[in-house]
Structure 1
């Protein structure tokens, strides 16, 4: 089986899954990021994760595919941002700091993943000089509810 066939088969399998149990394409420890090909802040977040030591692979997809992936993973529009990543059975939605992802993987809570809804200024990939918005990283529990995982000032 060639690589292209494997990737397309894996993506089709992922999109057809009823629920997210683990990323279809990523290998253990790999961060697979799905994003728009034209989004600069998404690419900056991928760079942030790579600098923090994550084995990060970016995949450009169209918006319809991206929104379908978000919905299947349990990411509602209120919890969404511009890119979606998967690592070790969790989703990471939006501009989540690498330290929060490291903590998630160390603690392994019974949850779907982390999200930083929207695109807060000053979050990883959304740097704008000294400007900073306060924001929370939310832990998305299996029932769809959320709790504050970490606050960032």
Structure 2
């Protein structure tokens, strides 16, 4: 009789353990993913914050383009993005249609991702880069061909960064 009692007790404890484990596992899997954890897993050089005029369709097209090229984009509606751009050092004559920040650098305008990736790999001693205006052949615009002149800006002034 002692062996039946002991065997029954062990079986009950084992069953309770499995039920508790299964319930714990279900509770964990039913939770929504933690967005802070998701953001941490994206490398800093692939996280982009864009301050844009909320009515600018080109900025939305550019953000979509950046996402299609592997960036995690946070869009912030800011009708005064141009003032913010000047505050961070973008020359007034070099303003583009939005301001972005990627891993400590400011990117102003419709800069192609290849140039941003070059900036991330070279890591020059500058504040950022800008593609002035809204060139028709820039990402987010209708055209596809032609060169784009991108400028570096920072403490040492303004210089051509890329002419591609």
TM-score interval, smaller chain: 0.7 to 0.9
Residue 80 (structure 1) shift: 0.4
Normalized per residue, the structure richer in strand is 1
Q: Does 1:28 align with 2:40?
A: no
* Partner SS, residue 50 of structure 2: strand
Normalised to the residue count of structure 1, the TM-score between the two structures is 0.73
Q: Do structure 1's residue 116 and structure 2's residue 131 form an aligned pair?
A: yes
| TM value normalised by structure 2 | 0.68
Q: Which runs of 4+ in 1 moved over 4 A?
A: none
Q: Quick check: which one's helix share is greater?
A: 2
Correspondence 1:45-60 to 2 at 5 A: 45-60=62-77
Q: What does residue 61 of structure 2 align with?
A: 44
Name the structure, 1 or 2, with higher relative contact order (CA <8 Å, separation 6+): 1
Task: Note the residue ranges of structure 1 that are not aligned, 5 or more in a row.
Answer: 1-26
Alignment of 1:1-153 (within 5 A): 28-29=44-45, 30-63=47-80, 66-128=81-143, 132-146=145-159, 148-152=160-164
Instruction: Measure, in 2, the Cα distance between the counterparts of 1:104 and 1:60.
Output: 25
Rg (Cα) greater in structure: 2
**Contact 2:52–2:97, Cα closer than 8 Å, also in 1:** yes
